[in-house]
A and B are shown apart, each in its own frame.
Chain A
Amino acid sequence: MTFKYNDVYLEEVSSVAGPLEEQGPLGKNYDITYKDYYVGMNTWEQAESKMLVDSVDALLYKVNKLKQDIDVHISGDLLNQIVSTNYASLSINIPLIGIYGACSTSCLGLIIGSNMVDKGQVKNAIVSTSSHNNSAEKQFRYPVEYGNIRRKMSTYTVTGAASFLLSNKKSYIKVESSTLGKVCDLGVKDANNMGAVMAPSAAKTIYEHLKSLKREVNYYDLILTGDLGIYGKKILREYMKVEYNIDLNNHDDAACMIYDIDKQPVFAGGSGPSCLPLVFNSYIYKQMLKGKIRRVLIVATGALLSTTMVNQKLSIPSISHAVSLEVSDDLF
């Protein structure tokens, strides 16, 4: 399903990140960084909540707005019952839509928010996501101190949170269109190879998006996928070529940009709901403001992993959503 928008703008963005992300190539661009994984809280789950609150606070500070000025907050994270979001919302105190889309949460939130703003149901919306390496490891894998031996193809959950402010007020970057993806499953059961799990869904969503808007892939200056990792990125490119005969030359993957893969102990790259938004909010957004990149398609890729279902020998489904962002000519 593809939506076209007339009056939806990306007014401001914010990003907060953990210590390993700060040491990465984009380290200087984040609004707030933390020295340790507890962020001054008692547990990792609470730390994740705190980061989410900080990212919303940073966003409101940047646009000089109060919480009362915001109509709706759309947010999600990886943890069971999206606890980070729910507990963060206690202090954020804006009407909440809690969503779950695994690592595709950011684009799902942007689509819901943009639809509401475009229809005039709300005048603005904050979309945010968070993820925390240790809380995710605890829930999906092994105890953190166990230091389970990881394979080269596995990805490393990003610690951080990011927020977007959507608004009907004209600003420099326009949310131009979006495509809601379908759940897709090509039989990959390996939870250590998430890139292979998610690549077909990313390809499908990109193809659907281009097809329904009758666009060539070169229309975009950059197609940025979420968290495929270095191997998933190669798989996506080949899959696109074989299945749809599309050459993805203007493509990059946020998982490969957020860390220095050769030097940092992150295996195939970053992952998690905040991987794509952190890269976009810290780096790509600024490039768009400078006018260096004008049209970007962000494709958040989510592996809908459940340890229960994997133990029941089922394969891992995945979903991807795409949002097209363009530098708006209306203002200048």
Chain B
Amino acid sequence: MDRVKYKELINKYNVKENRLYNALLALLAGGTLGVLGQLLIDIYTLVLNIPTQDAQVFMSITLVFLGCLLTAIGVFDKLVALFKCGLIIPSTGFAHSMMSSTMEYKREGLVTGMGANMFKLAGTVIMMGVVSAYFFGILRWIFLGG
């Protein structure tokens, strides 16, 4: 059997992932996280009288902290299995990727383990983020003039 025929055979048994369901679930989970973020901003501004711009930063810090904490106590990965990209795409997912890599290599030393591997997954996100920000910046400059 050649490769083309074999590919046809495999495709016959391919199971489709439930993309629509996963997407809706991710939308719901991500949206809930957004609402939670907005609630935090409101609490910080209205109750604690923090300026809105600062409150936004505090909101990020709170969510990232919560993400890291849930990863550390072994809950976040179970939530990810349930809600998929709804939790991976927001900044909580970024924190989670760093935290989980750090935990994975904890026993291989502070520098050679944690230091070297902390950005194992997040490094790509930063690198691609900077590159795409550069190109979007150029596009914005062309179309909107800065």
Do A and B truly interact?
yes
In the complex, which residues 68-87 of chain B have their Cβ closer than 8 Å to any Cβ of chain A?
A: 71, 74, 76-78, 80-81, 84-85
Q: Name the residue among B1, B88, B96 with the largest chain A CB count within 10 angstroms.
A: B1
Assembled-state Cα–Cα distance A153/B13 (Å) = 10
In the complex, which residues 190-216 of chain A have their Cβ closer than 8 Å to any Cβ of chain B?
A: 193, 196, 200
By a CB distance below 8 angstroms, the chain A residues around B88 are: 149
Minimum C-beta distance from A15 to chain B (A): 28
By a CB distance below 8 angstroms, the chain B residues around A187 are: 3, 6-7
Q: Are A149 and B10 in contact (CB under 8 A)?
A: no
Q: Are B100 and A188 in contact (CB under 8 A)?
A: no
Assembled-state Cα–Cα distance A145/B81 (Å) = 11
Indicate whether A143 sits within 8 Å of B100 (C-beta atoms), given known contacts A149-B80, A152-B17, A242-B9.
Answer: yes
B120: nearest chain-A partner, CB-CB: A143
**Residue B103 interfacial (CB < 8 Å):** yes
**Residue B101 interfacial (CB < 8 Å):** yes
Q: Are B76 and A145 in contact (CB under 8 A)?
A: yes
Q: From the candidates A42, A142, A153, A243, name the one contacting B121 in the complex (CB within 8 A).
A: A142
Indicate whether A186 sits within 8 Å of B3 (C-beta atoms), given known contacts A43-B107, A147-B76.
Answer: yes
By a CB distance below 8 angstroms, the chain B residues around A242 are: 1, 9
By a CB distance below 8 angstroms, the chain B residues around A188 are: 6, 10
Q: Are B101 and A235 in contact (CB under 8 A)?
A: no
**Residue B14 interfacial (CB < 8 Å):** yes
Minimum C-beta distance from A73 to chain B (A): 27
In the complex, which residues 46-92 of chain B have their Cβ closer than 8 Å to any Cβ of chain A?
A: 71, 74, 76-78, 80-81, 84-85, 88
Q: From the candidates A43, A147, A200, name the one contacting B81 in the complex (CB within 8 A).
A: A147
**Residue B29 interfacial (CB < 8 Å):** no
Assembled-state Cα–Cα distance A234/B14 (Å) = 11
**Residue A146 interfacial (CB < 8 Å):** yes
Please encode chain A, from 87 to 127, with 1 for each CB lying within 8 Å of some chain B CB and 0 for all others.
Answer: 00000000000000000000000000000000000000000
Assembled-state Cα–Cα distance A185/B14 (Å) = 19
Q: From the candidates A143, A151, A234, A265, name the one contacting B104 in the complex (CB within 8 A).
A: A143
By a CB distance below 8 angstroms, the chain A residues around B13 are: 196, 231, 234-235, 238
By a CB distance below 8 angstroms, the chain B residues around A265 are: 81
Q: Are A149 and B85 in contact (CB under 8 A)?
A: yes
By a CB distance below 8 angstroms, the chain B residues around A42 are: 107
Assembled-state Cα–Cα distance A235/B1 (Å) = 13
Minimum C-beta distance from A49 to chain B (A): 14
**Residue B99 interfacial (CB < 8 Å):** yes
Minimum C-beta distance from A263 to chain B (A): 15
Interface size class of A (residues with CB under 8 A): 20 to 34
B107: nearest chain-A partner, CB-CB: A43
Assembled-state Cα–Cα distance A136/B81 (Å) = 19
By a CB distance below 8 angstroms, the chain B residues around A182 are: none
B79: nearest chain-A partner, CB-CB: A147
**Residue A239 interfacial (CB < 8 Å):** yes
A195: nearest chain-B partner, CB-CB: B13
Assembled-state Cα–Cα distance A145/B100 (Å) = 5
Minimum C-beta distance from A22 to chain B (A): 20
**Residue A138 interfacial (CB < 8 Å):** yes
Q: From the candidates B1, B7, B71, name the one contacting A243 in the complex (CB within 8 A).
A: B1
By a CB distance below 8 angstroms, the chain A residues around B80 are: 146-149
Assembled-state Cα–Cα distance A193/B15 (Å) = 11
Assembled-state Cα–Cα distance A193/B17 (Å) = 13
**Residue A144 interfacial (CB < 8 Å):** yes
Please encode chain B, from 1 to 40, with 1 for each CB lying within 8 Å of some chain A CB and 0 for all others.
Answer: 1010011011011110100000000000000000000000
Assembled-state Cα–Cα distance A189/B113 (Å) = 30
Minimum C-beta distance from A45 to chain B (A): 9
Please encode chain A, from 295 to 326, with 1 for each CB lying within 8 Å of some chain B CB and 0 for all others.
Answer: 00000000000000000000000000000000
Q: Enumerate chain B interface residues (CB-CB to A < 8 A).
A: 1, 3, 6-7, 9-10, 12-15, 17, 71, 74, 76-78, 80-81, 84-85, 88, 96-97, 99-101, 103-104, 107, 120-121
17 sample A-B contacts, Cβ–Cβ < 8 Å, listed by A number: A143-B101, A143-B104, A145-B77, A146-B100, A146-B104, A147-B76, A147-B78, A151-B17, A152-B15, A153-B14, A187-B3, A187-B6, A188-B10, A193-B10, A196-B13, A200-B1, A238-B13
